[in-house]
Amino acid sequence: MKNIQKIKLGINGPEVSKLGLGCMRMSSIWGGPTPDENESIATIQQALDNGINFLNTGDFYGAGHNEMLVGRAIKGRRDDAFISVKFGAIFHNGQWLGLDLRPIAIKNFINYSLTRLGIETIDLYQPCRMDGSVPVADIIGTVADLVKEGKVRYIGVSEITADQLREANNVYPISALEIGYSLADRQIEKDLLPVAKELGIAVVTFANTAEGLLTGEMKAPLPENDYHTHFSRFQGDNLVKNLQKVEVLKQLAKDKGFTPTQIAIAWVNAQGAEFMPLVSMSRRSRLPENTAAMEITFTPEEMNTLNTTFAPGAILGGTYLQR
């Protein structure tokens, strides 16, 4: 499994695995339980063994827990891993407070991340999003200074607009754009993806199963305490109609001998050489399935079925991905 596909991050960037490992769910999310740490570490190490070297974390995942976990997993094999870190989100007692993207804060964040990870340089460093509170030039300019200091190798951005992406790249070459993207969430195809392609920026995509909608396992109605019910996509008739479209995905997956999740990942992978599906995993048992998804190909008829069924706007209701 060492022969996993590769992707180049940006015009002058490095080559990394085309399948990325999202480590976020290895820590407590929104106050939930922390998965078994030994299993999480074993998952990271087995991913590295299998040639999946792109590890994605954030300094606010589990209040630093995630970075420390990744640091333990890569200890003694730093050269095997490419570490991507997001910064800027501020939480208190598990509650989102906002962003702090001031240069003074960024210079503080980086040192804590390096210490928790136990490394000297972060491979890809990126603001988790931008809200206009600090000029784009100040944010990217500060990270560019960290590149000069040797604390960062490459600069990425996450969840931003086409105009912000262009502005950021004018300050310093951007290697990767991290963004939510799936069959069910295609709104970025109109403005953001064309700019990324024009500038030669790799697209690291999370939420490939649209928060579980495309797994084929969701049923209507959802339990009242399910966090999905906060979003209109998962409410009432919207969910019923959306799941009808998912039935098409389930049938296609069955016909090809794969799971709906694998097909959802494969569709993202098939969008081009510059796309990296970033898949969250916390168990080794998920690795074979998700790795196999990267080998799936589609006939023109199959791709047309997926693109027609899940045309932009076909999925009713919104989620946080459409803010």
d(CA 99, CA 41): 29
Q: Is 293 helix (H, G, I), strand (E, B) or coil?
A: helix
Q: Are 101 and 137 in contact (CB under 8 A)?
A: no
Beta strands in the chain (DSSP E): 6-8, 15-17, 20-22, 54-58, 82-87, 89-92, 95-99, 122-127, 152-158, 174-180, 202-206, 275-280
> Which one, of 138, 133, 200, 134, lies nearest residue 166 by Cα?
200
| 61 classed as catalytic | yes
d(CA 192, CA 290): 26
Tokens describing residue 92: 């208190």
Looking at beta carbons, which pairs linking 144-149 to residues 24 or more positions away fall under 8 Å?
144/171, 144/172, 146/106, 146/107, 146/110, 147/172
**Residue at 303: amino acid letter:** M
Q: Is 89 helix (H, G, I), strand (E, B) or coil?
A: strand
Residues acting as catalytic residues: 61
